[in-house]
Amino acid sequence: MILEMAQGNFVFQIERSKEDDELEGLTVLVNMMAQEMEASLLHLRYINPRYNYKNLLQAAFVLDCDFKIIHFTTDAVDLLGFDDKFLNNCLFEHLLTESSILLLNDIKSELNYNNGSITVSINYKTKTDLILPTLCTISKLVETENYIISFAVILREEKQDFNLSGTEERNDLMEKLSYADIQLIQKVYDYILANIDLPLPTIQELSRMFNTNEFKLKHVFRLMFNTSIYKFYTTERLKKAHLLIQQTTIPLKNIADLTGFSTYPNFSRAFKNHYGFTPNEIKRR
């Protein structure tokens, strides 16, 4: 947990126990420290720019009828940190948090009922006891009693180097931004990244959503990121598309849909304008 915070990642939490002792008190303090450090960085007038896309890890487990692990991918080993010996014939629930273990019984019943597949949020526990939230697809394999559970995690690299320097006039304006202004833009920024596969609301709609006026929203966002909201949104969609093209075999038309483009020609044109080459020129797996 401390190492994660040292790398600027404050989203991980240590799982709480039901004990009331000094160790549990320390857990609470470490979790609070992560939250306070995140707030402190925001107070120092830095937007947390999250991370650039680096690599897509696609992990999967094959389970028998008792939900015991019989096969797994190397990415699953890398993400959770357990070795092959531990994972072989391990009960799947041993990799989960308590809340996800309780959910597992409902998942089994649902799969037995509809005999298809479901998508559900599952929290894994890593070997270092950190929590890894995922969105898993769980399916029953045809003509067997086995199941496959798969999920994808995007690894991140260094934070994006947004150029916050500029003219003296711009720097003076930056100094005058209030804490509330920084919070506002952080929320807008996070909203865009969390809904990157959906159409971007209009400036009028965004201003209503975040209880501000249109001029302030556009002005402060451009001041912080030196770009418009729409251009930032488009650039992030294209980054995600580039990653999916490189790291998966998903058809290009489906990638266009996944990244919020209404048609493939629109996607291909925007991609070429940004990268200088078309999506089908990228070498795929």
Give the mean model confidence (pLDDT) for residues 277-282.
90
pLDDT in tens, 196-246: 888 899 999 999 999 999 998 998 888 878 889 999 999 989 988 888 888
Length of the chain: 285
Residue 32: count of CB within 10 angstroms of its CB: 10
Q: Which of 13-22, 78-87, 232-241 has the lowest mean pLDDT?
A: 13-22
Helix (H, G, I), strand (E, B) or coil at 244: helix
Confidence of residue 103 (pLDDT cuts 50, 70, 90): confident
Q: Please tell me whether residue 147 adopts helix, strand or coil conformation.
A: strand
Q: Residue 75 pLDDT > 90, yes or no?
A: no
**pLDDT exceeds 70 at position 14:** no
How many Å apart are CA 210 and CA 191, to the nearest integer?
A: 10
Q: If DSSP codes are grouped into helix, strand and coil, which group holds residue 53?
A: strand
The pLDDT tens digits for 152-188 are 876 655 444 444 445 555 556 666 677 788 788 888 9
Residue closest to 123 by CA, chosen among 79, 67, 70, 62? 79
Taking the alpha carbons at both ends of the chain, their separation in whole angstroms is: 34
pLDDT at residue 228, rounded to an integer: 92
Q: How confident is the model at residue 117 (pLDDT cuts 50, 70, 90)?
A: confident
How many angstroms separate the CA atoms of 237 and 197, rounded? 7
Q: Taking the CA atoms of 131, 64, 136 and 263 in sequence, report the sign of the dihedral they define.
A: positive
Side by side, which strands form the sheet with 131-140?
69-72, 53-63, 147-156, 131-140, 117-125
pLDDT band at residue 71 under the 50/70/90 scheme? very high
Of 219, 220, 274, 195, nearest in space to 242 by CA: 274
User: What's the predicted TM-score (pTM) here?
Assistant: 0.48
- Cα(160)–Cα(167) distance, integer angstroms: 21
Measured CA to CA, the distance from residue 262 to residue 98 in angstroms comes to 41
- Which residues, 6+ apart, have CB-to-CB distance to 128 below 8 Å? 1, 81
DSSP H helix total and E strand total for the chain: 12, 5
